[in-house]
């Protein structure tokens, strides 16, 4: 039974192809805001980090109304590190708007999200965005999308549907057109196609209840809130329901409150029928994949499967001499409690305490996925330290070691393509495709996740900052053997003092500095990178010896090159196994795991890394 008054659509795209901007314009076109209401651009990117990074991290549910039809819109992340969000929320949709940049065409993460949409059997409508951008080739972008769908195994019905349902748009300028010759200046052609031609959800409101939870929200007042789609039947407040977990266990519960999505907010209601998306309050410890059903006539729904994590990092309480200077929360017990809270709310991460209780291991889908959690915690006032990310290996049925393999794409000026290939070769990458244009070359590689770490900076260095670099998890493949790591050594502070310009002036001749005059440093902290292999212990507080004679150049100030600064992702990719990243609300510092130089030498001898 079709529910013609509802449409459930997901918007999928590569990072920065305009998903969130498009949703902004759809909201405005359906009068979601008052005429005098001030609304931020990219209104769905409500998280501070989403606004700063310009990416969608968490999927969002909203609804708009057009021609009497309720359209539930699901804004999905475009970055593969947040693929756990994509996989789940697509189960709520019947169709997807595939948004693609008219100049760039499909990109690596377009492949990632589109593969999940095709596997879910969604009807896919292609929206070619940014058609007014310089260098736009809308028809080529459309053909590339259709080719990509064929490569990903789309059915004949899906391909035929996508060929017939195409919209050309400029989300930033607020217009969508059925063909390139139109001069329409509104978003209504896109809304008309959604309402008139995209499939309505199936579901019988009078059947037995079947609802599956795909997202968990949390409230300090009511606890966990399960969000999902009602596939059959109708759910009411005060209903007694059977909760079936992913592992098959069952428990009874009662619905205390019900909400549906209403534009940017939620509206409390007494019932939600098949085909719609609802938020349910009252089911204790509800989790992703839970099925809510009728106790007397249970409905079976396939469990939700999520791709496993590929990287793990250990969070430890900070042991820095400067601990407590920046943050309010520094204890191991508070750190463990915060990560346990994250485990409750974030199903895409695996969070487990180490057997020796010295730290908590957090496994995620990539460096960005892990760094977003770290950035959130440092903004909450936590101080902690983390080690080098560890790749998670698997074994196949024959016992062979497998490791995560990524697909990487680099677009760079053609004169640098040879250097890019060389850099990837050193990191274990294998080139799979090369496409040369007049001035730029697009290179595709298969490369182990181990090789990706730290690679972005090397690619930017050899291309003089002109490369565009994307990568996404592809598959688990055979172990690639040893991969070259950081070649250059580091400069390590020998004392706990503030850095002095005179000392830094002599050190910058040996390599690249990480600190500037006045920076608080401590023994064992990394203050720079050498221009050759091997670590070097340095005195960052050395001052000039003063005599009773003056020279003509005595008062000339030391000329220092600006220091290299690290983002969290860059710091995690840079460090080696014997190093840590110290994270505080105000600083990101690199340090040795063992701070004292003598103790480091003893450890190296015991470990067999150096001779006695």
Q: Which residues are annotated as a binding site for GTP?
A: 16-21, 129-132
Q: In sequence order, what DSSP letters do the residues of 556-585 get, joined into one string?
A: PPP--PPPP---HHHHHHH--TTEEEEE-S
How far apart (Å, rounded) are the C-alpha atoms in residues 62 and 73?
A: 5
Per the DSSP assignment, residues forming a β-bridge with 124 are: 96
Determine what percent of the chain falls in helix, strand and coil, rounding each to the nearest 5: 25, 30, 45
The binding site consists of 16-21, 129-132
How far apart (Å, rounded) are the C-alpha atoms in residues 100 and 113?
A: 12
How far apart (Å, rounded) are the C-alpha atoms in residues 109 and 104?
A: 12
How far apart (Å, rounded) are the C-alpha atoms in residues 520 and 509?
A: 21
Residue spans of alpha helices (H) in 5-57? 19-29, 48-53
CA end-to-end span of the chain: 79
Enclosing H/E stretch for 146: helix 138-151
For 195-228, b/e burial (b = at least 16 CB within 10 A) is: beebebbebbbebebbbbbbbbeeeeeeebbbbb
How far apart (Å, rounded) are the C-alpha atoms in residues 248 and 251?
A: 10
Angle subtended by helix axes 188-197 and 19-29, to nearest 10 = 90
Residue spans of alpha helices (H) in 408-500? 417-426, 449-452, 455-462
Q: Which residue has the tokens 């106790």?
A: 295
**Total length of the chain:** 612
Helix, strand or coil for residue 468?
A: strand
How far apart (Å, rounded) are the C-alpha atoms in residues 74 and 12?
A: 9
How far apart (Å, rounded) are the C-alpha atoms in residues 83 and 473?
A: 10
Q: In sequence order, what DSSP letters do the residues of 248-299 get, joined into one string?
A: S-EEEEE--EEEEEEBTEEEEESEEETTSEEEEE--TT--TT-EEE-SSS--
How far apart (Å, rounded) are the C-alpha atoms in residues 198 and 183?
A: 23
Encoding tokens for residue 553? 């150049």
Helices (H) and strands (E) in the chain, counts: 15, 33
């Amino acid at each position: 039974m079709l529910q013609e008054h509802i449409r459930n659509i997901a918007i999928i795209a590569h990072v920065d192809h305009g998903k969130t901007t498009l949703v902004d314009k759809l909201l405005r076109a359906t009068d979601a805001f008052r005429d005098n209401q001030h609304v931020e651009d990219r209104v769905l990117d409500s998280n501070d980090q989403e606004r700063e990074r310009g990416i969608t991290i968490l999927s969002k549910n909203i609804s708009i109304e057009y021609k009497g039809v309720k359209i539930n819109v699901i804004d999905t992340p475009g970055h593969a590190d947040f693929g756990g969000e994509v996989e789940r929320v697509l189960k709520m949709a019947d169709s997807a708007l595939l948004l693609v940049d008219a100049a760039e065409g499909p990109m690596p993460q377009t492949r990632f999200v589109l593969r999940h949409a095709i596997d879910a059997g969604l009807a896919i409508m292609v929206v070619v965005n940014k058609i007014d951008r310089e260098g736009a080739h809308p028809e080529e972008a459309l053909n590339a999308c259709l080719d990509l769908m064929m490569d990903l195994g789309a059915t004949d019905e899906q391909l035929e549907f996508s060929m017939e349902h195409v919209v050309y748009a400029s989300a930033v300028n607020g217009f969508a057109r059925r063909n390139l010759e139109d001069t329409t200046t509104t978003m209504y052609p896109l809304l008309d196609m959604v309402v008139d031609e995209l499939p309505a959800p199936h579901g019988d409101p009078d059947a037995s209840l079947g609802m599956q939870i795909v997202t968990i929200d949390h409230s300090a007042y009511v606890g966990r809130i399960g969000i999902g789609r009602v596939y059959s039947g109708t759910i009411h407040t005060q209903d007694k329901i059977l909760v079936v977990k992913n592992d098959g266990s069952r428990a009874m519960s009662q619905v205390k409150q019900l909400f549906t999505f209403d534009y940017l907010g939620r509206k409390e209601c007494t019932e939600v029928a098949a085909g719609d998306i609802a938020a349910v309050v009252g089911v204790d410890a509800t989790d992703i994949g839970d099925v809510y059903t009728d106790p007397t006539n249970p409905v079976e729904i396939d469990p939700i499967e999520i791709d496993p994590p590929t990287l793990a990092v250990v969070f430890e309480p900070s042991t820095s001499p400067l601990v407590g200077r920046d943050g309010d929360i520094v204890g191991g017990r508070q750190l463990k409690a915060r990560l346990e809270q994250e485990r409750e709310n974030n199903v895409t991460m695996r969070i487990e305490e180490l057997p020796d209780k010295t730290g908590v291991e957090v496994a995620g889908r990539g460096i960005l996925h892990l760094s977003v959690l770290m950035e959130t915690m440092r903004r909450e006032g936590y101080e902690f330290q983390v080690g080098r990310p560890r790749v998670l290996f698997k074994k196949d049925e024959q016992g062979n070691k497998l490791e995560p393999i990524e697909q990487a794409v680099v677009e760079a000026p053609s004169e640098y393509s040879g250097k890019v290939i060389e850099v990837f070769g050193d990191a274990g990458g294998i080139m799979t495709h090369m496409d040369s244009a007049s001035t730029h070359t697009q290179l595709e590689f298969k490369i182990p996740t181990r090789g990706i770490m730290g690679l972005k900076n090397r690619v930017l260095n050899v291309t003089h900052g002109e490369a565009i670099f994307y990568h996404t998890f592809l598959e688990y493949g055979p172990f690639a053997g040893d991969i070259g790591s950081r070649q250059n050594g580091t400069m390590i502070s020998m004392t706990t003092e503030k850095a002095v310009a005179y000392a830094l002036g002599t050190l910058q001749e040996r390599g690249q500095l990480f600190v500037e005059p006045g920076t608080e440093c401590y023994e064992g902290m990394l203050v720079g990178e050498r221009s050759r292999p091997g670590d070097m212990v340095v005195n960052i507080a050395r001052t000039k010896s003063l005599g009773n004679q003056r020279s003509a150049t005595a008062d000339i100030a030391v000329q220092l090159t600006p220091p290299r600064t690290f983002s969290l992702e860059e710091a995690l990719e840079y460090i080696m196994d014997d190093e840590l990243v110290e994270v505080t609300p105000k600083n990101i510092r690199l340090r040795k795991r063992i701070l004292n130089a003598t103790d480091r030498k003893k450890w190296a001898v015991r470990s067999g890394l150096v001779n006695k």
